[in-house]
Amino acid sequence: MVASVSLPLTSGSLTMTISHIQKILIAMFLAMIVFRIPIVFWQRYSIYFLLFSLFLLIMVFFPFIGREVNGAYRWIKILGFSFQPSELMKFSLIIYVSSYCIRNYDEFREEWLGFFKPVFLISISILLILLEPDLGSSVVIFIVSFSILFIAGAPLKHLLSIFFVGLLTFIGLIFTASYRIKRIMGYLDPWNNEFSEQLRTSLSAISNGQWFGVGMGESKMKEGFLSDAQTDFIFAIIVEELGIIFGILLILAFSYLVLRCFLIGRSARQNDFSFGSLISYGVGVLIALHVFINIGVATGLLPTKGITLPFISFGGSNLMLMFVLIALVQKIKLEINFSNKISL
């Protein structure tokens, strides 16, 4: 689809396609490395990955290291290689929060201080990402972390207090930035608002596709009308070129992938592998959120926000994150099967 969005081929579009293929190969290589590492390694060193991720989030604001794109400092460029530390933070928080909940189970469930410790580090991470600014990734990290805490058995009163604080903060951040207010207004009335051009174009692309699409590479909306067609709005181009039927099948495929993560999480819990269980649930929630937000934005269900479609959108940071997370869940499944064979 990245190649199809690039058609007709030019030197620039060919470079983008080749770049994406290279990133896929790197992502596969990283996934193979993660798959060979025992899960206990991530539990033992999760705090160090979190601290390293926090360090990188701070580095985005340093001159000559952090890279500014469209007014936001979300990228680090070292030795010609660019990536988003916020994507690494998603991985680090999943393994850290899961590890903390298991290592400090009684303190976490019974004492406010025990619950507050991981929440404090989560809040610091979200604050640094908000300063970039990146509200979308902040919301994703908040919901994923909140979900893991909930599944781990955090007291309901503690969860509700954090939830309402997060909700009020989210609403406050919307009304303190004019461009966010404009996005909300465009979302509420897309057909009569100058700030909803992307949404109108996205809906037009989906409408053009009808049931079976106009054909690969034949999208009209990608030709300068729909910005970010290869990233945030790639689902609209998929439906335009391959049809609504294929779009539905793609949603079902993502749903099955998320369901498999949840089933592996349940299997891990049944086999007293609590750390692996929380990771699997966290990965499932993360993938589901990315898919829901990306497709929700493309179809007008949600206000415009830059969140990539897992495994499909152009880019390296999120692609590598998703490959690594799936490898992690696969490793958890393998260790469950191995332990069952040993017990037999």
Query: pLDDT band at 162, cuts 50/70/90?
Result: confident
- Asked if 89 and 325 count as a contact pair (C-beta separation under 8 A), the reply is no
Kindly report the backbone phi and psi dihedral angles of residue 311, in degrees, each rounded to the nearest multiple of 5, phi listed first.
70, -5
Is residue 189 situated within a structural domain? no
Q: Higher-confidence residue: 256 or 160?
A: 256
Is residue 210 situated within a structural domain? yes
Residue 199 is predicted with a pLDDT of 79
Residue 343 is predicted with a pLDDT of 52
In sign, the C-alpha dihedral spanning 213, 217, 222, 228 is: positive
Is residue 73 situated within a structural domain? yes
What is the residue-averaged pLDDT of the chain?
Answer: 84
Kindly report the backbone phi and psi dihedral angles of residue 176, in degrees, each rounded to the nearest multiple of 5, phi listed first.
-100, 0
Pair 18, 53 in one domain: no
Pair 16, 56 in one domain: no
Pair 162, 53 in one domain: yes
Pair 3, 69 in one domain: no
Long-range contacts of 259-263 (CB under 8 A, 24+ apart): 259/284, 260/329, 261/287, 261/329
pLDDT tens-digit map of 55-105: 988 888 877 777 766 666 777 877 667 788 888 999 999 999 999 988 887
Residue 194 is predicted with a pLDDT of 62
Is residue 152 situated within a structural domain? yes
The total of structural domains in the chain comes to 2
Through-space distance between the first and last CA atoms of the chain, rounded to whole angstroms: 46
pLDDT tens-digit map of 102-142: 888 778 777 788 888 888 999 999 998 888 778 888 889 99
Is residue 191 situated within a structural domain? no
Residue 8 is predicted with a pLDDT of 64
Is residue 197 situated within a structural domain? no
Residue 170 is predicted with a pLDDT of 83
What would the mean pLDDT of 319-340 be, rounded to a whole number? Answer: 90
Number of Cα atoms under 13 Å in the Cβ half of residue 337: 7
DSSP state, residue 305: -
Pair 216, 306 in one domain: yes
Pair 7, 88 in one domain: no
Is residue 181 situated within a structural domain? no
Pair 159, 265 in one domain: no
Pair 215, 336 in one domain: yes
Residue 10 is predicted with a pLDDT of 59
CA distances from 30 to 85, 149, 208, 303, 326 (A): 16, 28, 38, 33, 11
3-state class (DSSP) for residue 286: helix
Residue 249 is predicted with a pLDDT of 95
CA distance 87 to 101: 22
> Which amino acid makes up residue 141?
I
Does residue 341 carry a pLDDT above 90?
no
Is residue 305 situated within a structural domain? yes
pLDDT tens-digit map of 266-315: 999 998 888 999 999 999 999 999 999 999 988 888 877 778 899 988 87
Q: Which domain holds residue 153?
A: 46-176
Pair 19, 67 in one domain: no
Pair 30, 68 in one domain: no
Kindly report the backbone phi and psi dihedral angles of residue 7, in degrees, each rounded to the nearest multiple of 5, phi listed first.
-70, 145
Q: Higher-confidence residue: 227 or 44?
A: 44
Greatest extent of the chain over all pairs of C-alpha atoms, in Å: 66
3-state class (DSSP) for residue 66: strand
Residue 93 is predicted with a pLDDT of 93
Does residue 330 carry a pLDDT above 90?
yes
Pair 82, 25 in one domain: no
pTM comes to 0.90
Pair 156, 228 in one domain: no
Query: pLDDT band at 11, cuts 50/70/90?
Result: low
What would the mean pLDDT of 240-254 be, rounded to a whole number? Answer: 93
Number of Cα atoms under 13 Å in the Cβ half of residue 212: 0
